[in-house]
Homo-oligomer: A and B are copies of this chain.
Amino acid sequence: MLVCMTSSRARAEAALLAALASLVADETRAAVLLALLDGRAWTAGELARYAGVAASTASEHLGKLVAGGLLAEERQGRHRYVRLADARVAQLVEDLAAQVAPASAARPRTLRESSAGSAMARGRTCYDHLAGRLGIAVTDALTGLGLLRQDTGFALTDEGVHWFDGLGVPLVRTGRRPLARACLDWTERRPHLAGVAGAALCRHALDAGWCVRIGSERAVKVTDKGERVLAELLGIQAAALR
């Protein structure tokens, strides 16, 4: 029998790629990954209820995702907390989700979905940074002030790095994660700020009370204080956030 594939290296790589994709290729596991995009750790039971499957089923799925390196787990007493393994996995899930979003973003069906959808569209977290109209508004404002360049790529300027220092949020590179990275926003269909700077800004916004989480999902709401600060600091009009 002739070995037709040009090299077994290529076949090995294909097998690994297929194995990785298989982890995402199940609707329940995909729902889990999307839920964990909020950057927080969920218990196995929460995820089971969220995805609408039996606890035993969810347990098996989490086992596969952990074994595949997509999730990290932490045991606390009788709870099993899981979260996305790292920023790289989050980026992968976001990229995949952005690829399919254009097809689904179009039409909200019911009123409930519509209002839930619009809360997500106004502002949400995307793993560890801000997204939705809020994320876009911040990204645009930073760009307009010359703190971020988008025309030739996606990078902070020296003034941008300095601005974060002034905010009391110095940026430190950890590992290979870039200071600034573009993340495609699936409601706005434009890139918003991710990377170390995006994460630092989001954490600061939540810590300083510029915005708060709504419910148990990814949506966030800008507070009155947040509106004031964003207008003052970045010139963002409240209307851009509605």
- The residue that A17 contacts in the complex, of B5, B6, B100, with Cβ under 8 A, is B100
With contacts A10-B34, A100-B20, A180-B153 taken as known, whether A52 is within 8 angstroms of B116 at the C-beta atoms is no
A24 near B18 with CB under 8 A, answer yes
Interface footprint category on A: 35 or more
With a CB–CB cut-off of 8 A, which chain B residues contact A101? 13, 16
Q: How far is the CA of A155 from the CA of B20 in the complex (A)?
A: 30
- Identical copies in the complex: 2
A108 within 8 A of B: yes
Interface string of A155-197 (1 = CB under 8 A from B): 1111011000000000000001011111000000011000100
CB neighbors of B among A71-122 (8 A): 88-89, 91-93, 95-97, 99-101, 103-104, 108-109, 112-113, 116-117
Q: How far is the CA of A116 from the CA of B6 in the complex (A)?
A: 10
- The residue that A153 contacts in the complex, of B18, B22, B109, B154, with Cβ under 8 A, is B154
Nearest chain-B residue to A156 (Cβ)? B152
Taking the closest CB of chain B, its distance from the CB of A45, in whole angstroms, is 11
A234 within 8 A of B: no
Q: How far is the CA of A170 from the CA of B44 in the complex (A)?
A: 53
A214 within 8 A of B: no
With a CB–CB cut-off of 8 A, which chain B residues contact A30? 14-15, 17-18, 21
Q: How far is the CA of A103 from the CA of B15 in the complex (A)?
A: 12
With a CB–CB cut-off of 8 A, which chain B residues contact A109? 8
Taking the closest CB of chain B, its distance from the CB of A1, in whole angstroms, is 9
Q: How far is the CA of A33 from the CA of B20 in the complex (A)?
A: 14
A49 within 8 A of B: yes
A241 within 8 A of B: no
- Which chain A residues have a beta carbon within 8 Å of chain B's beta carbons? 3-31, 33-35, 49-52, 88-89, 91-93, 95-97, 99-101, 103-104, 108-109, 112-113, 116-117, 149-158, 160-161, 176, 178-182, 190-191, 195, 216-217
